């Protein structure tokens, strides 16, 4: 009997790969040149992160028995989605500023805000047979990500020098402050709240849906990712654990 799709290392690897490509300018540019869209990568990331959040919630429920609601995780997923879009806008603004020859001080400040602080960590380990092996890891707690979202929203809202450019792309101060409020509203809830026993099946079902959604999107753009990997060793390494179409 086939097992239900659930969060695993392959799902995490696909999320990492999409994040790395989206957040690396030259890789993103080549992906777009092949016919991919930023939205393709964002969808892979969002569904993967949602599956991870739901999976962690179930693990917490088994170990602590604390009561919580799946509503918290759904709000977290929505928060991540809006955050991803706003960072995409900020990156577009950064490109505009650089093209316009804006001062390095301003562009560096924006780069510091949008820098992905959950980058894939690659360590090279010596093996017993004398060869070397690359090990990739990405360990970031839900609460740490929530705090990062709040911090970035606050920084962008206070960045008056780029306010007009952000607003031109439909991201005004009110939208940034709303993201800030949403992130603050989840403060402290993601680290210690878990799904109620009665909602566990619902959480499992939603996790399965997110994994299937990521699988579908990954499969639809896999040839484009493979083409990119054929040109770039960094992407080949990322694709190794992510696998082909399911």
Report if residue 2 sits inside a domain. Answer: no
Alpha-helical (H) ranges within the chain are 9-23, 25-33, 38-64, 70-99, 104-114, 142-157, 163-168, 173-185, 189-192, 200-231, 233-242
User: How far is 5 from 174, CA to CA, in rounded Å?
Assistant: 39
Report if residue 4 sits inside a domain. Answer: no
Residue 43 has pLDDT above 90, yes or no: yes
Question: What local confidence, expressed as pLDDT, does residue 55 receive?
Answer: 86
Question: What local confidence, expressed as pLDDT, does residue 205 receive?
Answer: 83
Report if residue 21 sits inside a domain. Answer: yes
- What is the per-residue pLDDT across 11-30, written as a single tens digit (0 to 9) for each? 999 999 999 999 999 999 99
Question: What local confidence, expressed as pLDDT, does residue 80 receive?
Answer: 87
List the beta bridge partners of residue 136: 122
Report CA dihedral (173, 175, 179, 185) to the nearest 10 degrees.
90
60-69, 197-206, 212-221: least confidently modelled range: 60-69
Maximum distance among all alpha carbons in the chain? 61
Q: Are 90 and 114 in contact (CB under 8 A)?
A: yes
- Phi and psi of 101, rounded to 5°? 75, 30
pTM of the model: 0.49
Residues 6+ apart with CB under 8 A from 72: 186, 189, 190, 193
Residue 192 has pLDDT above 50, yes or no: no
Both structure tokens of 47: 């569904």
Residue 93 has pLDDT above 50, yes or no: yes
Under the banding of pLDDT at 50, 70 and 90, the label for residue 187 is confident
Which residue do the tokens 């088994």 mark? 62
The SS3 assignment for 23 reads helix
The whole-chain average pLDDT of the chain stands at 82
Q: Are 201 and 61 in contact (CB under 8 A)?
A: no
DSSP per position, 110-158 = HHHHH--TTPPEEEEEE-TTS-EEEEEE----HHHHHHHHHHHHHHHHT
19-23, 105-109, 143-147, 226-230: least confidently modelled range: 143-147
Q: Count of domains in the chain?
A: 1
Both structure tokens of 208: 């399965």
Question: What local confidence, expressed as pLDDT, does residue 76 receive?
Answer: 81
Residue 57 has pLDDT above 90, yes or no: no
User: How far is 133 from 122, CA to CA, in rounded Å?
Assistant: 10
Query: Among 15, 11, 9, which residue's Cα sits nearest to residue 42?
Result: 15
Report if residue 18 sits inside a domain. Answer: yes
Residue 65 has pLDDT above 90, yes or no: no
Percent of the chain with pLDDT over 90: 59
Report if residue 156 sits inside a domain. Answer: yes
Residues 6+ apart with CB under 8 A from 105: none
Full domain range(s) for residue 69: 9-242
- What is the per-residue pLDDT across 224-242, written as a single tens digit (0 to 9) for each? 999 999 999 999 999 998 9
Residue 166 has pLDDT above 90, yes or no: yes
């Amino acid at each position: 009997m086939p097992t239900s799709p659930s969060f695993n290392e392959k799902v995490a690897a696909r999320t990492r790969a999409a994040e790395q490509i989206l957040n690396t300018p030259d890789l993103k540019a080549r992906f777009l040149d092949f016919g991919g869209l930023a939205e393709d990568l964002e969808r892979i990331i969002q569904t993967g992160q949602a599956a991870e959040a739901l999976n962690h919630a179930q693990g917490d429920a088994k170990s602590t028995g604390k009561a919580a609601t799946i509503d918290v995780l759904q709000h977290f997923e929505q928060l991540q989605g809006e955050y991803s879009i706003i960072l995409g806008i900020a990156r577009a603004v950064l490109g505009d500023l650089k093209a316009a020859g804006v001062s390095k001080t301003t562009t560096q400040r924006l780069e510091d805000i949008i820098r992905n602080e959950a980058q894939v960590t690659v360590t090279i380990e010596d093996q017993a047979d004398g060869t070397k092996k690359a090990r990739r890891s990405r360990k970031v707690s839900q609460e740490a990500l929530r705090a990062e979202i709040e911090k970035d929203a606050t920084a962008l809202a206070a960045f008056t020098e780029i306010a007009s450019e952000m607003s031109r792309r439909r991201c005004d101060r009110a939208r940034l402050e709303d993201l800030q409020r949403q992130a603050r509203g989840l403060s402290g809830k993601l680290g210690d709240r878990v799904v109620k026993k009665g909602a566990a099946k619902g959480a499992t079902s939603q996790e399965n849906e997110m994994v299937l959604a990521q699988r579908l999107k990954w499969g639809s753009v896999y040839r484009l990712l493979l083409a990119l990997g054929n040109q770039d060793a960094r992407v080949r390494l990322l694709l190794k654990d992510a696998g082909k179409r399911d």
